Structure 1
Amino acid sequence: MTRVPVVSLTDCADPNALARQSARIAALFGATPTVVPLDGPDPEGAAALTLLDLLRSTDLTGGPTQPLVVLVNIAPRDGHWPNGVPFCYFRHGQHLVISTLSHRVLAPLANYLGLTEVQVTDVREVLEAGAAGWADLAPAEVEEMVRTQFRSLWYVPLLARWLADGRPVPAEPAPVRSLAAQDVRVAVVDNFGNCKLDRPAAELPGYEGTGATAHLTVHNRRERRSVTVRCYDRLPDVPLGEPGITVGSSGVGFAELVVRGGSAAELFGLSQGDRVFHLTS
């Protein structure tokens, strides 16, 4: 069995769930995974930006890289699916990604990484194919995994191992839609209080670069009023103690609302998932 590094992004984020997932992934892959909890108010938005950043971080290496497995689990229970949203997979270069079939999570990859299609799996179909072909699974064990609520524990790591091993996992292709014009929201609030937005700075309404007249209007939720914020190229260009909109470190030129030496989230009363701008088509 080849050891493969695994990074898991999941909203099943309590200590018990994280411990079980870490143990199962380590047993299947022979290496301790990096499990990142997505426990904020908008896990889909955080997962979208984090997945984009994670895949982007494998670039600019100057040479070959180690194949990586990325697992993304966001578990909406909207009643549309018999036992939760399906899981899909795709490859980014040599890296394998398995994700909840979520438009919000996958759309930025279509816009900024050129992802056009994913392979959608059915839990029962995959497990029964494995049991009939290469896995030592009894019918009762297959049924237990099909029926479980905790598919990100029992199914996803097993699917990842089989795909990494080149097993003929059954799946159906599905297109990935690009992002349409919509609200621009806070995707992630970092530990400094910088608000990472979910769009490039150049796509913000009225953004004209970093000249002296480049300003955008931001709603201050804490004070319940609109304020004008100047645009800057980078965080070090923002005057100390002042707010600014910069080209941040995430995505492909994605914007950040910052306060140099302070917290934009605190100043503006913003948290993950809050609307900052509205885009029109």
Structure 2
Amino acid sequence: MYPITYLTDCVGGNARARLSTRIGALFGQSPTIIALDDPDPESFAALTLLDCLRSTESLGEPGHPTITLLNLAPRDGHWPNGVPFCFFRYGEHLVASTFNPRALALVRRELGITEVFVTDIAEVLEALDFDPVESERIITTQFRSLWYLPLLAKWVTDGRAVPSTPTPIPVTPDEGPLVTVVDNFGNCKLDRAPAELKLAGIPRYPHLTAVPRDEPGLIPGSSDVAELVVRGGSAAHYFGLRQGDRLDDRRAQDLANRVRPLAPQ
């Protein structure tokens, strides 16, 4: 049995129930379902996927292979018949996903996963001798993340010969640091390392307890990307940030202006 995590923008109760039941029927256990319902779900998915894979490291003992599913179609309208699904491995760990360059951007940059294996649903179902009537149902449904993606993960996990095309992950434009996650403490996780950021007036610290109480700082967060914090408070509230906000030059200057009252006189 494999630990299964499913990151998806289909997050209603009905959607969770059918996803859990279908994956349970295929794998013998239901997944942990993570909602991608933030203002910028692609950036949230990118860091969460990176964190899921990084969390399998440094176990101190042999670990178990995991499966991570990611369902999040790009919002660019480029795929009139639906974005294709792909898969890749990180060591022993399998990821099966919609082919979404923004959602895959951080595993590309941080883990060196520069290409994935893109699949065509009709080609895969035909090659694996799937029932033709059921194949047509899966090919034409709008619920491909329910009907096809779990099957893809199961077949790859079982070592079946799934037809696929190695495809580079496109490099997405760098438009400035982005708030990818705001956690329950109000800490703002960004999409790059602290040393790569230039936020005037906000000093860097090695960890949270080194930050003076009630003052802001940049620390290494999960997967070593930067985390903007206010020790003992909420950085999101203090700086007026939310998930999906981009720290362009104007916004960075605004942050600096907010810090000045806290600086020593």
Q: How high is the TM-score relative to the length of structure 1?
A: 0.84
User: In structure 2, what is the equivalent of residue 184 of structure 1?
Assistant: 177
Greater shift after overlay, 237-246 or 146-155? Answer: 237-246
Q: Which amino acid aligns with 1:97?
A: V
Q: How many residue pairs are counted as aligned between the two chains? A: 249
User: In structure 1, what is the equivalent of residue 52 of structure 2?
Assistant: 54
User: In structure 2, what is the equivalent of residue 264 of structure 1?
Assistant: 235
User: In structure 2, what is the equivalent of residue 19 of structure 1?
Assistant: 17
User: In structure 2, what is the equivalent of residue 241 of structure 1?
Assistant: 214
User: In structure 2, what is the equivalent of residue 193 of structure 1?
Assistant: 186
Of the three residues 165, 168, 171, the one matched with 1:172 is: 165
**Identity percentage of aligned residues:** 58
CA distance in 1, matches of 2:153, 2:235: 38
CA distance in 1, matches of 2:135, 2:114: 32
Unaligned runs of 5+ in 1: 206-215, 218-227
Instruction: Give the conservation status (yes or no) of the 8 Å contact 2:194–2:204.
Output: no
Higher helix share: 2
1:144-199 CA-partner distances (Å, limit 9, x unpaired): 11111111111100111111111111111111245654311100000000000011
CA distance in 2, matches of 1:124, 1:59: 36
CA distance in 2, matches of 1:108, 1:25: 26
- TM-fit CA distance, 1:268: 1.2
User: In structure 1, what is the equivalent of residue 144 of structure 2?
Assistant: 151
What value does the CA root-mean-square deviation take over the aligned residues?
A: 1.5
Q: Which amino acid aligns with 1:275?
A: R
Q: Is 1:142 aligned to 2:135, yes or no?
A: yes
CA distance in 1, matches of 2:71, 2:30: 18
- TM-fit CA distance, 1:106: 1.6
1:88-111 CA-partner distances (Å, limit 9, x unpaired): 100110111111111112222122
Q: Is 1:162 aligned to 2:168, yes or no?
A: no
User: In structure 1, what is the equivalent of residue 8 of structure 2?
Assistant: 10
CA distance in 2, matches of 1:50, 1:154: 23
Q: Which amino acid aligns with 2:205?
A: Y
1:24-47 CA-partner distances (Å, limit 9, x unpaired): 111100012111111111111011
Secondary structure of 1:258 counterpart: strand
CA distance in 1, matches of 2:77, 2:171: 25
Higher strand share: 1
User: In structure 2, what is the equivalent of residue 30 of structure 1?
Assistant: 28
User: In structure 1, what is the equivalent of residue 65 of structure 2?
Assistant: 67
